[in-house]
Structure 1
Amino acid sequence: MRILHTSDWHIGRSFHGNSTLDALEQVLDELVAQVREHSVDVVIVAGDVFDSSMPAADCYGVLTRALTGIRETSARVVVTSGNHDSAARLGFLAPLLEDGVHVLTDAAVVGTPITLSDEHGPVHFYGVPYLEPALVRRTWPEVTLRTQGQVVGHAMSLVNADRAERGGRSVAIAHCFAAGVEPTPQLEREVRQDLRQGSLDVVPLSDFKGPDYVALGHIHGRAELAPQIRYSGAPLHYSFGEAHKPRGSWLVDLDADGVSDIAWLDLPVPRRLTVLRGELEDLLENPALDAHIDDWICAVLTDRLPQREPMRRLRERFPYCATIDLQPERDGEAADTRTYRERVGRGVPDPQVIDDFLDHVRRGERASDDERQLLADVISEHRAQATA
């Protein structure tokens, strides 16, 4: 049996205010072509099909066309819900879907597989959708469930108990943050805000032992946590922090004894993501940057002082400039990384408060001698009026 492991489509997500629907549909068309070219039997979508619990109408069209294209190749589809999806909305039509499209969103049926067969016999697909601890306690009241780790651990115990009874080959599908992914600032933005980067909400890899293959979703970059436990990542780049990560899916072959081969299939990148760093005038005039005119651009401006209309001017040269990050470079002493509020505490003289404020808003440019004298005169006059 040949399986294509994908996840985190996030249909409907914007990219710095720009729609991604057309780009995603282009990529999903290529995914369908790969399903046909490689004679895939089963396509897995491991959660976060939509980016919102209430997707817009055109998002459903993108999903419908993708699923229809996959089914036209004769491949079957197994979908689970993620933290961005509404399990109820994604799953309410599941009983009415055509044979060959399976949507798994209900915690009550975790441990009950979708069983598909090939020439070697049955393969059991166990879906573990994203499960909120507060919502599944009523489903499993006999178990202490306060964290994602406890919830997924219990779900996998149900999966493994059923596996032991049924026998045969098996694939688990889960949407969670599993141990083994390096916690970086960008990764913290990829995971849901209520998934804290502490040990309480991390699922140990040991919980995923048992199935022949574990298809994970939730992390947007490709990751191999163990030979048979992997994240496929998202099919599009949804942030500049992901720009260096390839987009694609895992092609997994099962023979009579389990996994026989795993290969990576790249997906196209409709528009490259590029980070350009420098002073505004250099970014506007440097001819070497012509190669990036059609890229999505994050402009990191190092000017010491704020520049006039930087986004408008950048977009005149780079039409797809999506965001600006101000990182002024300072000469001499190291930059003070404290916030303005942290600098201004009780007992700080008024002239120092104002000087620190100017240093903060001017990105390292403090008051000049003339400005200090003017400020001293204004402060003195204000105090005189206050005490009169």
Structure 2
Amino acid sequence: MKILHTSDWHVGKVLKGQSRVREHVDVLAQVVEIARAERPDLVIVAGDLYDTAAPTPDATKLVTRALSALRGTGAQVVAIGGNHDNGAALDALRPWADAAGVALRGSVRDTAADHIIDGETAGGERWRVVALPFLSQRYAVRAVEMYDLTAAEAVQTYADHLGRLMGRLAEDFDAPDRVHLITAHLTVVGARTGGGEREAHTVMGYAVPATIFPTSTHYVALGHLHRAQQVPGPCPVHYSGSPLAVDFGEEENVPSVSIVEVTAQTAARVRHVPVTAGTPLRTVRGTLEELGRIDDPDAWLRVYVRETPRAGLREEVQELLPRALEVRVDPEMLAAATTAPRTAQRAGRSPRDLFGDYLDSRGHADDDVRNLFNQLLEEVDG
């Protein structure tokens, strides 16, 4: 059978005030086109369909249409909730999903059978998917336990709970004539972060060892980390990565989806198909003169400007580079300026003098800023 594995769409993402809706429309349209070209038997969407737990109606429309379009290619579709998703809200969409032929699992349920999805390809290959949405540490480890445990004990308890849960869900992974699959949204020990994920849910406190997955699993389709990669484990464990770089920390990632070919008797073969419809993210550095020579009209830019900080510098940069979403003074310059900061004696000195010392220590000798501070101080004192 053939599987298309994708995850971490983050529909609704806003980057430095810039909506990415148009990009998401194009990116998901390309994912659907890849599905039409590859003709997979099964599409797995491994969580974080949305960027926020309160998606807009437009974001919901885009996600549901994308899932319907993937189902329309003839593939079976399984989708789970991630840590950015509202699991209960996804579960509320299940009547629509069931009618559309999409197996949608938003949150962990009490009934194990609810997380086991069986199917069969057009060629008669049987498959089973264990679908495990994101399970937070606070939910898996009761609050009273977390207060009583050390940090290391809480980590181990979370991993133990996930291991027992996975063992229970995959206890029938011994049928010799069936492809056994797992999809989950979590961090596995040994994986490399994608560079831009929010660290709150990717730190080691939420990481579990790959040994929680049974050796009889043919393929584990993970979401959560945005870099496409294989993780060492007792069976094939893969992240598909995000099809769109969601922030500048991910600019080196190659957005893609994973295509998996596997049978009950043969090992999974995985290849990555690039998704090119999104706008590239670039970080550039230079003086105003150097920035003026940059010609990259199709990328969103993060600019580190090598100029002394002054009022209006951001506007000058954005006039040169209209697609600059983030403008900062180069951190290397600031570090050099503060290598040996001068400690100001506060006693008996005016706020104007102290603020002037601060500006000097930051390499920000700008009379306009000093004058503005003086005006504000006069209004406060007035």
Shorter-chain-normalised TM-score: which range? 0.7 to 0.9
Match of residue 51 from structure 2: 51
Say whether residues 1:253 and 2:254 are aligned partners: no
Checking the alignment, whether the CA contact within 8 Å between 1:32 and 1:70 is kept in structure 2 is: yes
Which whole-Å CA distance do the structure 1 matches of 2:246 and 2:348 have between them?
45
State the secondary structure of the residue aligned to 1:34.
helix
Indicate how the Cα distance of structure 1 residues 363 and 12 shifts in structure 2: closer, same or farther if over 3 A, else same. farther
SS state of the match for residue 322, structure 1? Answer: strand
Q: Which amino acid aligns with 2:338?
A: D
Equivalent residue in structure 1 for 2:213, among 192, 208, 214: 208
Q: Sort the Cα spacing of 1:364 and 1:350 in 2 relative to 1 into closer, same or farther, 3 A.
A: farther
The aligned counterpart of 2:306 is 302
Instruction: Report deviation, 1:122.
Output: 1.6
Task: Note if contact 1:303-1:328 (Cα within 8 Å) is conserved in structure 2.
Answer: no
| Partner SS, residue 123 of structure 1 | strand
Residue of structure 1 aligned with 2:189, choices 179, 183, 204: 179
Q: CA deviation at 1:314?
A: 2.5
Q: Call closer, same or farther: CA 1:95–1:310 in 2, change over 3 Å.
A: same
2:179·2:263 contact (CA, 8 Å) conserved in 1?
A: no
Partner amino acid, structure 2, of 1:20: R
> Any residues of structure 2 matched to 1:63-102 within 5 Å, and which?
63-96=63-96, 97-98=98-99, 100-102=101-103
Structure 1 vs Structure 2: percent identity of aligned residues?
Answer: 28
For normalisation by structure 1, the TM-score amounts to 0.79
CA RMSD of aligned residues (A): 3.3
Q: CA deviation at 1:294?
A: 3.2
1:356 shift after superposition: 8.0
> Is residue 278 from structure 1 mapped to residue 301 from structure 2 by the alignment?
no
Deviation for aligned residue 1:350: 6.4
Counterpart code for 2:106: T
Question: Are residue 323 (structure 1) and residue 321 (structure 2) matched?
Answer: no
What amino acid is the match of 2:187?
Answer: F
Indicate how the Cα distance of structure 1 residues 363 and 244 shifts in structure 2: closer, same or farther if over 3 A, else same: farther
1:290-324 superposed Cα distances (whole Å, 9 cap, x missing partner): 2x133211110122333x32333223232211001
| TM-score of the aligned structures, taking structure 2 as reference length | 0.80
Task: Tell me which residue corresponds to 2:316.
Answer: 313
CA distance in structure 1 between the aligned counterparts of 2:178 and 2:125, rounded to whole angstroms: 8
Q: 1:168 to 1:205 in 2, by over 3 A?
A: same
**Paired position in structure 2 for 1:105:** 106
Residues 38-47 or 356-365, more deviating: 356-365
Pair 1:16–1:310, CA change in 2 (3 A) = same
Deviation at 1:267, TM superposition (A): 0.5
Deviations 1:49-71, CA, capped at 9 Å, x for gaps: 11111111101111122122212
1:132-281, aligned counterparts within 5 Å?
A: 132-136=136-140, 146-147=154-155, 148-164=158-174, 168-182=178-192, 187=195, 189-193=196-200, 195=201, 197-198=203-204, 200-210=205-215, 211-226=217-232, 228-281=236-289
AA paired with 2:191? V
| Aligned counterpart, 1:27 | 27
Q: Which residue of structure 1 aligns with residue 379 of structure 2?
A: none
Cα distance change on mapping 1:36 and 1:86 into 2, 3 Å: same
Give the deviation of 1:101 after TM superposition.
0.5
Deviation at 1:83, TM superposition (A): 0.6
The separation in 1 between residues aligned to 2:20 and 2:340, in whole angstroms, is: 37
Instruction: Give 1:299's aligned amino acid.
Output: V
User: Structure 1 residue 120: deviation in Å?
Assistant: 5.3
Distance in 1 separating the partners of 2:16 and 2:8: 18
Q: Secondary structure at the match of 2:301?
A: strand
C-alpha distance in 1 between matches for 2:94 and 2:64? 13
Whole-Å separation in 1 of the counterparts to 2:21 and 2:187: 26
Summarize deviations over 1:218-241 as a string: whole Å, max 9, x none. 111212213721111111111112
Sort the Cα spacing of 1:354 and 1:223 in 2 relative to 1 into closer, same or farther, 3 A. Answer: farther
Unaligned runs of 5+ in 1: 368-388
**Aligned partner of 1:98: which letter?**
A
Partner residue in 2 for 1:4: 4
State the Cα deviation string for residues 63-103 of structure 1 (Å, max 9, x = none): 12212221221111100000111111001231442253101
2:337 touches 2:361 (CA, 8 Å); kept in 1? no
